[in-house]
Structure 1
Amino acid sequence: MLRFAANLTMMYTEHAFLDRFAAAAKDGFKAVEYLFPYDFPAAELKTRLDENGLTQALFNAPPGDWAGGERGIASLPGREDEFRRGIDTALGYARVLGNRRLHVMAGLIAAGESRERHREVYLQNLAYAANVAQAEGITIVIEPINTRDFPGFFLNRQDDAQSVCAAVGAPNLKVQFDCYHCQIVEGDLAVKLKRDIAGIGHIQIAGVPERHEPDTGELNYPYLLDLIDSLGYDGYIGCEYRPRAGTSAGLGWLKPYLRDAL
């Protein structure tokens, strides 16, 4: 049975952030995800989850200077101490929120920088994160992201992400399979889902190319979602898209899956 999480960073933006939990629950969601929790005390977020019967499915580790354009620091040489402090902060939130998936963003690589050096730092940082998270029962996930939206992002392909996980060798390090990013970079999603399902720790969906609801654009989501279900994926599917208009008005695509869950 498929389970969906509302991404509160992109969805329900017609509400203040803390009010988005109730709005998602009212529409039938049982779980939420978002980019970052750090603007709010963990206890306050936990209260919103509990009041609305929601599970925290995923959030991201601190990404560096997000407002300044950084998109993660896991592969950035010289930022290792900051990365470890960020993981410690994220795990502190995860303990309170009951979150079992933590997304670690690789970061950007500038033209002329050594990919080999970035990869070396990336592997070392991911090994640290996976080790400390394992004691908490938390899975670290890494996500290939397209360079149209994030020019210079270090990790772009599913096979590369799977090879990173294999090189680290931690059982709680997996790949976050974002259908939107994968379609833009490489396509052939069904084959990659079948090939990599054992190494996939989280899935996200959005229409391509506009990143609206998954009932628009070039991807056949009814087929892909049936495939994901048939492959035995039992995690949450994050709805990481920008609604065309009001969030609730655009949820017609979700209603059949909510009925199946009753």
Structure 2
Amino acid sequence: MTFQLAACAEMLWRDRPIDWRASRLKELGFGVGLWNWPAHDIAALERTGATFTIMNGYLQGRLADDEGADMLLKSARETAAVGKRLGVHRLNLHGTGLGDGGIPVWQHDKVTGPMWLKARDTLNRICDLAEELGVTYTLENLNLMEHPGCPFNTTADVLTLVSSVNRPQLRMNLDLYHTQIGEGDVIRWCQKCLPWIGEVQVADNPGRNEPGTGEMNYPAIAKALKAMGYSGPVGLESNAEGDPEVALQAFRNAFTV
């Protein structure tokens, strides 16, 4: 198998405890992705022995203003301690904190030049923290249809920030579901982002379900990723409205190339 496959536990088997979900993903040979940690029993998750590939690296804060940056750094330090307990490989960030339904807490229709400079400064501070603690952060692209007003949401925005910081402690979480909605031309975006990718996340569009349920040709995307030399983590963030294990097999089939 070319890629390191994982799946977001919080979107699967929603009637089961989170540690059961992590254990089941481990049994099926997948890594485990998480969102926010405060509602979880961290000790129970530790006992599963699962490989935790990614989780949100903050609880609150934002990139582009002084108050938000200070909140982000404080929250990131607290979250990194939890991440280290679980051995999480990557701690994920967004341009601003997300509230209920993924709606950005801090919305801006236009990002100004000073906001760009402040965001780059904040990400350099995140890299300093990551270097101190021995962790890695990713910055994720989103789409404005589902996350209206989110600053630095596009694939291009995230690539610009991560490449301008250009430090190994910060990579891209390239979410191809969001890229498809926001920009399309997914394979060429993979090529552009390749030097800075820390993780690729996937779901089909529309519906945010597993590969094969929508318009995205994931077997072709997987072959293209392999051809360009990517062999890193690929994480499924799927609603999996049917049987989660059927969804996981469809995911594995699409990315076994």
What TM-score do the two structures reach when normalised by structure 2?
0.87
**CA separation of 1:13/1:191 partners in 2, compared to 1, >3 Å: closer, same or farther?**
same
2:30 equivalent in structure 1: 30
1:56 equivalent in structure 2: 52
CA contact (8 A) 2:26 2:32 kept: no
1:116 equivalent in structure 2: 113
1:149 equivalent in structure 2: 146
Q: How much does 1:15 deviate?
A: 1.4
**SS of the counterpart of 1:59?**
strand
1:224 equivalent in structure 2: 221
CA contact (8 A) 1:74 1:104 kept: no
Give unmatched runs, 5+ long, in structure 2.
97-103
Q: How much does 1:195 deviate?
A: 2.1
Give unmatched runs, 5+ long, in structure 1.
65-71
1:245 aligns with 2:242: yes
Q: How much does 1:257 deviate?
A: 6.8
Please tell me the residue identity of whatever aligns with 1:100.
Answer: H
State how 1:40-79 maps to structure 2 within 5 Å: 40-48=40-48, 50=49, 54-64=50-60, 73-79=62-68
Question: In 2, Cα distance between the equivalents of 1:131 and 1:63?
Answer: 19
1:160 aligns with 2:161: no
What TM-score do the two structures reach when normalised by structure 1?
0.86
Question: In 1, Cα distance between the equivalents of 2:184 and 2:29?
Answer: 28
**CA separation of 1:210/1:30 partners in 2, compared to 1, >3 Å: closer, same or farther?**
closer
Question: In 2, Cα distance between the equivalents of 1:35 and 1:165?
Answer: 21
1:83 equivalent in structure 2: 72
Please tell me the residue identity of whatever aligns with 2:20.
Answer: D
Question: In 2, Cα distance between the equivalents of 1:73 and 1:138?
Answer: 19
State how 1:194-233 maps to structure 2 within 5 Å: 194-233=191-230
1:169 aligns with 2:169: no
Question: In 2, Cα distance between the equivalents of 1:114 and 1:183?
Answer: 22
**CA separation of 1:42/1:75 partners in 2, compared to 1, >3 Å: closer, same or farther?**
farther
CA contact (8 A) 2:58 2:76 kept: yes
- What CA deviation, in whole Å up to 9, does each residue of 1:107-153 have, x standing for no partner? 14535775334323322221111112124442211111001111111
The count of residues paired between Structure 1 and Structure 2 equals 248
**CA separation of 1:130/1:241 partners in 2, compared to 1, >3 Å: closer, same or farther?**
same
CA contact (8 A) 1:12 1:23 kept: no
Q: How much does 1:96 deviate?
A: 1.1
**CA separation of 1:23/1:255 partners in 2, compared to 1, >3 Å: closer, same or farther?**
same
Question: In 1, Cα distance between the equivalents of 2:230 and 2:144?
Answer: 27
Q: Which moved more, 1:107-116 or 1:9-18?
A: 107-116
Q: Name the % identity.
A: 23
Question: In 1, Cα distance between the equivalents of 2:64 and 2:133?
Answer: 23
